[in-house]
Amino acid sequence: MTRSWLVTGGSRGIGRAVVDLVAAAGDCVAVLARSPVANGPAPPGQPGAGRVLAVKTDVTDPESVGDAVETVREEFGSVDVVVNCAGVHRGGRVEQLSRERWDEVVSTNLTGAFEVCRAAVPLLASGSAVVNVGAVVGLRGFPGDVAYGSAKAGLSGLTQVLAVELAARGVRVNLVVPGFVDTEMTASLSDRARDRVVDAIPAGRVGTATEIADVVVAVAGATYMTGATVPVDGGLMASFGGFAR
């Protein structure tokens, strides 16, 4: 059965990996992102590939989100899965981080997900799912991530509340929590910071965007799971030592 997906932040990183995976399986997917992506089948030329609809969207702007979701409604009619993956990272300890950067991170990672859910819920029928993409630093403290960690912790709370609110409608809401993953966002880390994180991962390596996307798709299809937090982190959260200071 073909499903319709709405993926924010789907032009790169984990979001793009989700888009590629579900489109290759023959599903339709709307990509809401600031950066443009190509419309049409994806991967290009693959038989049976689903349709990809690119909708330029700023998730921090309620009007932009509303217009984007209306475009998806006109094109797809309904949505079976919403994946909130749009995110921005701005590092800095509490005494160093500016209010401007704090607001940028929270408005993108947390408020943006709220706006997308608020606009998309009317399109979600019974059996639909919302998958929010969190981060280990939202559940475990990491110095220098005060804004990003706070926003992702808030996303965890949003997931819990929406799971309860939407259960009566048959809509499931879950949180997938990636650990350290090779993406453009993590590429900016210094070698020292990267080594500190990898040393704390029991699996001894970073993850890939495709490995996270596999779990996002599995969680979206889990018919008796809602309000759950699903780590995909190589054992990072299970480790007693955790992050180095």
Domain assignments of the chain as residue spans, ordered by start: 4-232
Active site residues: 148
* 26-46 average pLDDT score: 73
Confidence check: pLDDT of 37 > 90: no
Question: For position 207, what pLDDT does the model report?
Answer: 92
Look up the pTM and report it.
Answer: 0.89
Q: What percent of the chain has pLDDT over 90?
A: 66
Count CB-CB contacts under 10 A for residue 106. 18
Q: What is the C-alpha to C-alpha distance for residues 34 and 8, in angstroms, rounded to an integer?
A: 9
Confidence check: pLDDT of 243 > 60: no
Q: Assign 46 a pLDDT band (cuts: 50, 70, 90).
A: low
What are the pLDDT digits (tens) for 167-180?
999 999 999 999 98
Question: For position 35, what pLDDT does the model report?
Answer: 78
Tokens 């009619």: give the residue: 77
Confidence check: pLDDT of 185 > 70: no
When comparing pLDDT for 49 and 236, which is higher?
Answer: 236
Q: Assign 45 a pLDDT band (cuts: 50, 70, 90).
A: very low
Count CB-CB contacts under 10 A for residue 4. 22
Across 10-19, 46-55, 235-244, the highest mean pLDDT is recorded for 10-19
Backbone phi, psi, residue 54, to 5°: -90, 125
Q: What is the C-alpha to C-alpha distance for residues 78 and 193, in angstroms, rounded to an integer?
A: 43
Confidence check: pLDDT of 146 > 70: yes
Q: What is the C-alpha to C-alpha distance for residues 241 and 100, in angstroms, rounded to an integer?
A: 33
Rounded to the nearest integer, the mean pLDDT of the chain is 89
Question: For position 180, what pLDDT does the model report?
Answer: 87
Q: What is the C-alpha to C-alpha distance for residues 136 and 78, in angstroms, rounded to an integer?
A: 32
Question: For position 169, what pLDDT does the model report?
Answer: 96
Count CB-CB contacts under 10 A for residue 70. 13
Assigned superfamily of 4-232? NAD(P)-binding Rossmann-like Domain (3.40.50.720)
Question: For position 51, what pLDDT does the model report?
Answer: 93
When comparing pLDDT for 55 and 88, which is higher?
Answer: 55
Report the amino acid identity of residue 90. R
Where do runs of H (alpha helix) occur along the chain? 13-24, 62-76, 99-106, 112-120, 146-166, 184-187, 191-199, 209-220
Across 124-128, 180-184, 192-196, 234-238, the highest mean pLDDT is recorded for 124-128
Confidence check: pLDDT of 60 > 60: yes
Q: In what order do the strands lie in the sheet with 4-8?
A: 40-41, 51-56, 28-33, 4-8, 79-84, 124-133, 172-178, 229-232
Q: What is the C-alpha to C-alpha distance for residues 123 and 70, in angstroms, rounded to an integer?
A: 10
Altogether, the residues listed in the chain come to a count of: 245
